[in-house]
Structure 1
């Protein structure tokens, strides 16, 4: 697999230094990539400083930004598919590839280099066959991993400490209050910059890593709204295994242990789901909606309309029209059909039995791999 430009190339020197100090050096064959990250961080210092000053003088506009809408759900639950369907809504905006890859510099330097940067964007996501365009919606975790700690991506980049960094990035395990506050500041800054870049529009954010963080997100934006998509855990398990294997092959800078990755997948899903259920139970009905992937797949436009109605989104007809245009654009995509072996089903039932019972999912005969997860 051809490796893309490493995501940490967009980090600032302080974040890059702290991540390296915490996780150790890459393998020798990746030292040239590390040199590129360091050079990029240092060469961008003047533009980063200029952009910081530019953002500071826009404090009034940033303060008027509406609270974001968050799409939550475990990896491979259909979050990307739902993100794509909602991202064309009038009045909403989202992080595209350039802001995600250059979180410190996309308003000024990124705009100047946009034609060059667009040519560097890979044609596909790498974890599946979904195409990537210069305007494709992206999750904010790659940006956050280049701005602050913690982030689960630091475990993906430096998998010798995979379990520790996954727990820190997903659940703030072992994080100090100062680290959590720093993460919240970085998230707010990046989100406000995305909104500024779109003239102050409301930001739509999709990130599976936020699924267990409703409480911390609401501490930043008390009026935030949330859409949770849930999918049959049997399907989620196998697809998540393939996703992490592909992701680690693309961006890991150290050797990784498949057994540890498997253990983290099995332990993370129940914790994410338990935190989501606990933190969402107190939300008003117009602040939280849960949809099933199977319902979205069967009736995508009806599901989008229900989300717009429940959350009180502006111009629901425009949202449905945009969703239809997206569906037409991906009509040629074909999903793979996969079975769930009995031994795999038993693993899921043993580790994720409470979640199967909570959402009422039964063992499937065959698994149809979702188009956008």
Structure 2
């Protein structure tokens, strides 16, 4: 696993000083010496923002408490590197929806009162593009709400990025299964409060949320939002694995606070997290009321995004597709210069994927070693896009 000495690009700068101390205690204050400047930077920022955290609570508590969800959220779920970001970015072109931005995700405690000061700082700390795929990272671009949850609680898989020695400990917060009731209750309270804050700022709009970690917790989400709608986007596992591994290699090193896990360990983590995700999803998706779930294949979706969106709107009974069709078309056209990463697999790893993820390959309708047909698939995609390069893969 590659390492990086960048100090300021830390997602945990949006947490509270108290929560930061709890994380340090939970990890026995074990920070690698080379990453000590990162930990110090997080400590300083969280201390400086502490008065603003208190101010926002005092000023907005009643308003947030009174905020109601006029319509229950739409959740985009699916494994990392499966097209969730592209789908999310496309759907928010419909202005009837509210969504979580980078400001919300990385400043969840102070985004209502942050003003230009802290947003300006975030702009300086935030890279212009994502490390693993060069997708733009503007302040108001859509982001996963899991980053906000990681800044608001200790209960997130994403803490395992900063503290890789305990990544399997933090993985239990994906499904929340078997955890003490008080932890699940606190997570639920914090999650709902955060969504109310985003809804309040969005003027009461229906939220469309993207979070791969939610794929593990369909049952829990349905307890909170019985009529929520779900869009599951899935992708060829032989492409998902190397793309996820690239994310580990290109993005994670910027956030490590401890010695990173080895490449071998990283591969095993990918295998295990994927297997648990789909075992749970295949079991819990049966709980979703009829008409509230639509599943789309990434490879089909990128060939004709507009047709895919029309199917989503129709399948979930969402209104207004024809009114925003031109906006969707404009966004798709704007992605014409995006070039998707090309990944390779050695035969041994390819065979291991075919064996360990056999249940998913069969359930999702992929043939073993289908990557051999990628040349034909790419040719068809390019033909449809009339020479434009392929949309983003996450």
Task: Output the TM-score relative to the length of structure 1.
Answer: 0.93
Q: Does 1:342 align with 2:363?
A: no
Moved more, 289-298 or 114-123: 114-123
Partner Cα separation in structure 1 for residue 185 and residue 12 of structure 2: 21
Q: Counterparts of 1:210-229 in structure 2 under 5 Å?
A: 210-229=214-233
Q: Give the alignment partner of residue 172 of structure 1, picking from 156, 171, 176.
A: 176
Q: What does residue 72 of structure 1 align with?
A: 77
Q: Counterparts of 1:13-28 in structure 2 under 5 Å?
A: 13-24=17-28, 25-28=30-33
Partner Cα separation in structure 2 for residue 282 and residue 195 of structure 1: 26
How many residues are aligned here? 372
- Output the aligned Cα RMSD: 2.0
SS in 1 for 2:322: helix
Does structure 1 retain, via aligned residues, the 8 Å contact 2:176–2:217?
A: no
Q: Deviations over 1:142-179 (max 9, x none)?
A: 1111101211111111001122222x232335632211
Q: Deviations over 1:158-209 (max 9, x none)?
A: 001122222x232335632211221112211111111111111111111111
Q: Give the alignment partner of residue 30 of structure 1, picking from 15, 31, 35.
A: 35
Q: Does 1:39 align with 2:44?
A: yes
Q: Does 1:314 align with 2:319?
A: yes
Moved more, 110-119 or 250-259: 110-119
Does structure 2 retain, via aligned residues, the 8 Å contact 1:340–1:366?
A: no
Does structure 2 retain, via aligned residues, the 8 Å contact 1:90–1:318?
A: no
Q: What does residue 387 of structure 2 align with?
A: none
- Deviation of 1:61 (Å): 4.6
Does structure 2 retain, via aligned residues, the 8 Å contact 1:340–1:365?
A: no
SS in 1 for 2:147: helix
Partner Cα separation in structure 1 for residue 218 and residue 324 of structure 2: 25
- Deviation of 1:254 (Å): 0.7
Task: Output the TM-score relative to the length of structure 2.
Answer: 0.89
Does structure 2 retain, via aligned residues, the 8 Å contact 1:94–1:204?
A: yes
Q: What does residue 382 of structure 2 align with?
A: none
Structure 2: stretches of 5+ with no match in the other structure: 379-389
Q: Counterparts of 1:48-127 in structure 2 under 5 Å?
A: 48-59=53-64, 61-110=66-115, 112-127=117-132
Distance 1:336-1:261 versus aligned 2 partners, 3 A rule: closer
Moved more, 229-238 or 41-50: 41-50
Moved more, 337-346 or 307-316: 337-346
SS in 1 for 2:231: strand
Q: Counterparts of 1:202-241 in structure 2 under 5 Å?
A: 202-241=206-245
Q: Deviations over 1:267-291 (max 9, x none)?
A: 1112111211111113223211110
Partner Cα separation in structure 1 for residue 173 and residue 105 of structure 2: 17
Does structure 2 retain, via aligned residues, the 8 Å contact 1:308–1:316?
A: yes
Partner Cα separation in structure 1 for residue 124 and residue 343 of structure 2: 34
Q: What does residue 10 of structure 2 align with?
A: 6
SS in 2 for 1:204: strand
Does structure 2 retain, via aligned residues, the 8 Å contact 1:65–1:195?
A: no
